[in-house]
């Protein structure tokens, strides 16, 4: 087990600086344009691929870091550059997390490289759980997976909604119900490879924030995938279902295993957005003069900045703790992954709101990035489990009571 340390290693500092430089030189200058265009920023993803930031190797290296911090560091910097473009670049990683959480090592070796492609032939991936009637309540998914034994194929039918890279992705990881009577314990994850018939994009959504990230419905209409696309394999699924039918826990639940692993990394992005807004507001407060003095000389402004900085640092500490625990398989006894996501998401909303306040009218104008950061921040209290769902997870864990 790696020791938990707040002192970053040389390697980690290098990666942090490398991603920061990319965020500063490539992402930030492009952020406003892609927010307005509301399209996937292919040229920026390609730039990231050219330097190896959008690649299987980068993610593999990040996951190999025994402290668990490398991915969190990279994601904070990317989101500091721009959360929408950051998600356009790292959205595929959610599918990777789905494959890693539920797949065998052979499946990981086969499918994960296909989530990225190469700089000249970019590929995207998506992780599709949410449905119109199953958002927070992932146990009630209606998308069905039925096994066709004669052909050793799974047939997927249903519709997913609000999916990052949905329909645009080459590879989709789809969570579907194999046995609806068992709720989330009857679900499994399936890889839908590139060019599979029967999967298509439905409505593309126009959003409040993170608008450079593509969000859409995914429709599965008699979508057939080979048996080997069931993550974890048939034997493990049958074993799990048999245990669940017998009243046992039945082991991991397909979607939850992914969320547990990914929440600290979503939280890291929230920290990045909050930090961007805080830094901008701090500079502005020193420069802007009213009543013959810099506005920061007023406690009302200075104390707001003090709170912003304190809350951002607290969030990052929670993220690092959860990332380290997750990597070192320390049980989340008090739902520390959810704690990090809850705090960082709420802090991002508060801090970006304070930043607008500190800029006054200028904060409300689109020429300044703080209004965009405020729109972007809100998503972190919604996706990967809303703040209420994080509180539900934490309160159940600390109390042992099935809080409703
Ligand atoms: C931009 C964007 C990208 C997304 N990307 C993906 C993706 O890539 N893959 C994917 O699968 N999903 C994705 N989602 C979906 C996202 O995870 C869901 O929107 C989220 O989980 C909430 O579900 P919902 O929208 O159905 O809200 P609902 O579940 O309908 O919740 C509505 C409100 O009720 C509250 N609520 C619900 N149940 C309870 C309860 N038991 N106790 C207290 N309060 C409760 C919620 O907190 C919320 O405030 C994305 C969503 C967005 C907006």
Q: From the CA of 386, give the closest atom in ligand 1.
A: 47
Q: Using CA positions, which residue lies closest to atom 37 of ligand 1?
A: 136
> What fold characterizes domain 254-399?
Butyryl-CoA Dehydrogenase, subunit A; domain 3 (1.20.140)
180 Cα: distance to centroid of ligand 1 (angstroms) = 20
CATH class of 125-245: mainly beta
Phi, psi of 403 (to 5 degrees): -60, 140
- What CA–CA distance (Å, rounded) separates 214 from 192? 19
Phi, psi of 7 (to 5 degrees): -95, 115
The reported pTM is: 0.96
Q: From the CA of 164, give the closest atom in ligand 1.
A: 8
**Ramachandran category for residue 156: left, alpha or beta (phi over 0 → left; psi -120 to 50 → alpha):** beta
CATH superfamily placement of domain 10-121: Acyl-CoA dehydrogenase/oxidase, N-terminal domain (1.10.540.10)
- What CA–CA distance (Å, rounded) separates 160 from 216? 8
pLDDT score, position 247? 76
Q: How many CB atoms neighbour CB 114 within 10 A?
A: 18
**Ramachandran category for residue 233: left, alpha or beta (phi over 0 → left; psi -120 to 50 → alpha):** left
> Closest by alpha carbon to 97, among 264, 331, 233?
264
285 Cα: distance to centroid of ligand 1 (angstroms) = 36
Q: Please give all residues whose beta carbon lies within 6 A of any atom in ligand 1, as ranges.
A: 94, 127-130, 135-136, 162-164, 207, 210, 215, 379, 382-386, 388-389, 392
Q: Using CA positions, which residue lies closest to atom 23 of ligand 1?
A: 135
> Closest by alpha carbon to 357, among 319, 308, 324?
308
Contacts of residue 46, defined as CB under 8 A and 6 or more positions apart, other chains included, come to: 119, 122
186 Cα: distance to centroid of ligand 1 (angstroms) = 21
> Closest by alpha carbon to 50, among 140, 109, 120?
120
384 among known catalytic residues: yes
Domain boundaries, the chain: 10-121, 125-245, 254-399
- What CA–CA distance (Å, rounded) separates 394 from 227? 36
Active-site residue, from 3, 36, 384, 388: 384
> Closest by alpha carbon to 12, among 327, 306, 276, 274?
327
Q: From the CA of 165, give the closest atom in ligand 1.
A: 8
Q: Over its length of 404 residues, how does the chain's per-residue pLDDT go in tens digits?
A: 899 999 999 999 999 999 999 999 999 999 999 999 999 999 999 999 999 999 999 999 998 999 999 999 999 999 999 999 999 999 999 999 999 989 999 999 999 999 999 999 999 999 999 999 999 999 999 999 999 999 999 999 999 999 999 999 999 999 999 999 999 999 999 999 999 999 999 999 999 999 999 999 999 999 999 999 999 999 999 999 999 988 766 555 666 666 767 899 999 999 999 999 999 999 999 999 999 999 999 999 999 999 999 999 999 999 999 999 999 999 999 999 999 999 999 999 999 999 999 999 999 999 899 999 999 999 999 999 999 999 999 999 999 999 99
Q: How many CB atoms neighbour CB 55 within 10 A?
A: 19
């Amino acid at each position: 087990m790696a020791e938990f340390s707040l002192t970053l290693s040389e390697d980690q500092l290098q990666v942090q600086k490398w991603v920061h430089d990319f965020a500063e030189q490539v992402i930030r200058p492009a952020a406003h344009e892609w927010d307005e265009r509301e399209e996937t920023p292919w040229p920026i993803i390609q730039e990231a691929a050219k330097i190896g930031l959008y690649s299987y190797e980068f993610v593999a290296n990040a996951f190999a870091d025994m402290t668990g911090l490398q991915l969190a560091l990279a994601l904070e910097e990317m989101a500091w550059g721009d959360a929408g473009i950051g998600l356009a670049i790292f959205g595929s990683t959610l599918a990777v997390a789905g494959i890693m959480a539920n797949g065998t090592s052979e499946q990981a070796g086969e499918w994960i490289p296909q989530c990225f492609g190469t700089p000249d032939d970019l590929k995207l991936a998506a992780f599709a759980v949410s449905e119109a009637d199953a958002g927070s309540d992932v146990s009630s998914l209606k998308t069905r997976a039925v096994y066709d034994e004669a052909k050793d194929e799974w047939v997927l039918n249903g519709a997913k909604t609000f999916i990052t890279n949905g329909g645009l992705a080459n590879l989709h990881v789809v969570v579907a119900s194999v046995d609806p009577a068992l709720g989330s314990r009857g679900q499994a994850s399936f890889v839908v490879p590139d060019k599979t018939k029967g999967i298509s994009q439905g409505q593309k959504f126009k959003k409040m924030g993170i608008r450079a990230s593509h969000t859409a419905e995914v429709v599965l209409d008699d979508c057939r995938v080979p048996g080997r696309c069931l993550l974890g394999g048939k034997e493990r699924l049958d074993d799990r279902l048999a245990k669940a039918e017998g009243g046992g826990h039945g082991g991991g639940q397909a979607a939850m295993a992914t969320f547990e692993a990914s929440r600290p990394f979503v939280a890291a992005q929230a920290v990045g957005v909050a930090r961007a807004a805080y830094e901008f507001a701090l500079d502005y407060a020193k420069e802007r003069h009213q009543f013959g003095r810099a506005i920061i000389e007023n406690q009302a402004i200075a104390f707001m900045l003090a709170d912003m900085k304190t809350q951002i640092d607290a969030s990052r500490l929670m993220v690092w703790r959860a990332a380290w625990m997750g990597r070192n398989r320390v049980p989340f006894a008090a739902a520390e992954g959810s704690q990090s996501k809850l705090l960082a998401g709420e802090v991002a909303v508060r801090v970006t709101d304070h930043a607008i306040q500190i800029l006054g009218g200028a904060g409300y104008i689109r020429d300044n990035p703080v209004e965009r950061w405020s729109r972007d921040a809100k998503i972190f209290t919604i996706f990967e489990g809303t703040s209420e769902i994080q509180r539900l997870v934490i309160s159940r864990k600390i109390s042992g009571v099935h809080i409703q």
